Amino acid sequence: MSDWKHVIRLVDLARGSISLKLEPDVETRAQLAKELNLEALPALTCKLTVRPWLDGAEILGRYSARVVQICGVSLDPFEQDLDGEIALQVVPRGSPHALIESEGSEISLDLDAPDPPDVLEGEEIDLAHYLVEQLALDLDPFPRKPGAEFEYKPAVTEESPFAVLKRLKDDGA
């Protein structure tokens, strides 16, 4: 994963919410584009608010990006703008609010239930990681340039059954 990080600590939230803007530089965007299999990442900005939530934090915000992908039909590069939301909760390891998975147990999924909070490795939250993760999830895995259409025309050979029999007869069968 990329070297780009923007870390805040859970203790920094003791004084209240933190609002910030993330905007990687040109080199970092080039590295992120390579990791995300993009031709280029000309722009990426994100405004986030991180606030205390239970014994962890809640991360809310919006990002906008301009990505250059290769069209799966024409193989031409094309630009497209993406806008997305980031909304998640994080808790420290050992939190009573973390999803507890025991080995060999079944996990039941309720699609209408909110996502469980992410469990942090330590006391730090890498906001850049969550931004890149959300961008990766929002990318179209099969990008198509606007107006590009896949036109496949199979070779049509209209042969009647009698033509096939005639050819077999002519071949000496």
pLDDT in tens, 150-161: 777 777 767 777
Beta strand 18-22 with 7-9 is: unpaired
DSSP type of residue 139: S
pLDDT score at 5: 95
CA dihedral 106, 110, 111, 113 (to 10 degrees): -130
Helices (H), 81-145: 127-138
Cβ atoms of 1 and 28 within 8 Å: the answer is no
pLDDT score at 95: 84
pLDDT score at 105: 59
Residue 25 phi, psi dihedral angles, 5° rounding: -80, 180
CA gap 13, 10 in Å, rounded: 6
pTM score of the predicted model: 0.79
pLDDT score at 79: 96
CA gap 139, 67 in Å, rounded: 9
Cβ atoms of 4 and 39 within 8 Å: the answer is no
